Structure 1
Amino acid sequence: METRNQTALSEFHLLGLTGDPELQPLIFSLFLSMYLVTVLGNLLIILAISSDSHLHTPMYFFLCSLSLNDICLSSSIIPKMLVNIQVKDQSITYTGCLFQVCFVLVFAVMECCLLAVMAYDRYVAICHPLRYTVIMRPCLCVLLVLVSLSTSIVDGLLHTLMVLQLSFCIDLEIPHFFCELDQVIKLACSDTLIDNILIYIAACIFGGAPLSGIIFSYCHIVSSVLRMPSLGGKRKVFSTCGSHLFVVFLFYGTGLGVYISSVVTDSPRKSAVASVMYTVVPQMLNPFIYSLRNRDLKEALRKLISGTTYPL
C-alpha cells in the first residue's frame, strides 16, 4: 500500500456526521446553537460565582474550573466543524489535526479529573464536616486543579507525540466531525500496536482511576447519609450531591455508550453521531443541571442577570 511520509502530509478530510448536502444547514444551525448555549451557560456560571462572595468556596471553585474546561472542550471541536460546513471544505491541516487530538484529550481527561476532585470535596464536606475548612484549604484546591491539568497535558502530549511517529496512507478521510485519536490511528500504514496498547492503558489510568475515586467517595457518602437521624439532613445531602452525580452519569455513561456503539456497529458514521453525546451534550447541559438544583447558585445568577440588565 502506498504511504506518505508524515513530513509531506498536508491535510486530512473530516467527513462529518453525514454526507447529505441538504442536511448540512440543519447540522450547522444545531451545532451553532449548542455551542452558543454551552459557552454562554458556562460563562454565566463562572461570572455568577466570581461576583458572589458567598460562593467563594471549594465546591464552587471546582465548578468554575469545570465550566471553563467545558468551554475549552467544546471550543476545540465545534468551531472547526462549523467553519468546514460554512465554507464547504472538509479539510483540516495535519498540524491542526494533531492540535485537535491533543486538546480534546487534554480537556476530556481534565473533565474526568475534575469530576473526581468534586466528588472528593463532597466526601470531605459530608463525612468530615468539622475538618472541612482545615482539609480543603485554598492552596489544596488550587493544587488539585493544577495536578489535574498537568496530568491531562501529559496524557494529551504523550498520545500526540506517538501519532507524530506514524506514517499515513493516501486515503486520509476521517469519518468523524473532529480528529478523534482512534480514527486518526486507523489511517496509519505503519505499525500501530503500541499506540493502541497505550490508548487502553491511558483509558484505564486517566478514565478508570478518577471513576474509582468517585465511586469510593460516594460509597462513604451514602454510608454517612444512611446513619443520619434527620430526614431533612438526608434530603439536603442528596440535593447537594445529586447534580454532581447526574453530571458524572451523563459524561461517563455517554462515553461508555460511544465505546459500546463502536464495538457493536461497523459504521464509523454512527460512532461519530454517538460521540456527540460525550463531547458536546454534557458540556451544554452542565450549567442547567447545577443551576436548576442549587438555590445559592440560582440566586447568584438572578443577581448577576438583574445587575446586568439594570446597572443603576
Structure 2
Amino acid sequence: MDRIKLGLVGIGKIARDQHLPALAASQDFELAATASRHGRVDGIDGYGTIAELVSARPDISAVSLCTPPDGRFEQAMAAIAAGRHVMLEKPPAATVSEAEALAQAAREAGVTLFATWHSREAAEVDAARDWLVDRRIDAVRIRWMENIRQWHPGQDWILAAGGFGVFDPGINALSIATRMLPQPLTVLSATMDVPSNRACPIAAAVTFRSGAAQVDAKFDFLQTGEQTWHIEVDTDAGMLRLTQGGGWLELPDGTVLSGSDQEYPRLYRDFARLVRNGESDVDLRPIQLVADAFLVADRRVVEAFEF
C-alpha cells in the first residue's frame, strides 16, 4: 500500500523529539514537506506557513500540527478547507469551542480529524483500564509534577494566555484518567497558583468526582529531583499504581508490567487507519476538564517566574 504523503507543521521541540522519529520509522506516512516560521528539516521541502504548503503541494493529503494551541485553530481550518486530513498535537485547540468547530468543519468537508492524546498510548494504560473495569473504585490520586526548566526550556508561550500552563503536561494525566476510569470525571473544586508576571498557572490542585470516588490531583511545574507522573487507584481488590507516565503498572498481587515507549508511532498508525477508513477521532473530555477547572478555580497570585 502506498504511503500517505504528509506535511508536518511546526518544527519545534516536540516535532524533533517525537514526530520526526515516529515518521522516519512509519510504514504508513511519507514526510513530504514542513511548514514552520523558524525550523527546517534537512532534505525536506520547507514552507513558511501552512497556507503556502497546501497551495504548493496538492499531492500532500494529510498534515500533522505540532504548533502551540494558541493559533492552531486557524492552521487546522486552513488545512480542512483545502481538503486535507488533520492530526492535532495535544491539546487540540486553545478552547473547547475551537475544537468543536474543527470537528464540525471536518465532518462537513469529509476529511479525517484526529485529536491526539499521546499519553493514552503509553505502554500500560490499556492494561490498567482493563484491570479496573470490574473493580469498585474507592479513591484516586494523580500526581503530575515536573521541572518546567528541564522539559520546556525558554518556552514562554506555555505560561502565556492560551498556553495552559501546568495543564499542558497535566492534561496528559487527565487523558489517561478519562481512558482508564470506568466512570466519568467531573470537577468539584480547584486552586491555581499563577506567577505575578504570567497568565497561566505554574501549579494547581483539582478535586474531581468519578462515580462514588474522589479523585485528588496535584500538578506542579517546579518539581526538582525525581520527576513524578503517576496515578494511584484504591479499589476493593487493592491499589493499582500506574507510574512513569503510564509506562509502568503495579497491581495489588505484585504483578509488574512495563513496555517500551511507542506513543507517537501508535498515534501515527491510528491516524493512518482513520484516514483509510474515512473516520475521525475527536475526544474532548480532557480539555473539557481543564476548562471546568479554570471556571471554578480559586486563583492565587504567587511570586514571579523566569526561565
**Short-chain TM bin:** under 0.3
Structure 1 length normalisation: TM-score? 0.24
Q: Between Structure 1 and Structure 2, which shows a larger proportion of helix residues?
A: 1
Structure 2 length normalisation: TM-score? 0.24
- Higher relative contact order (CA closer than 8 Å, sequence separation 6+): 1
Choose 1 or 2 for highest CA Rg.
1
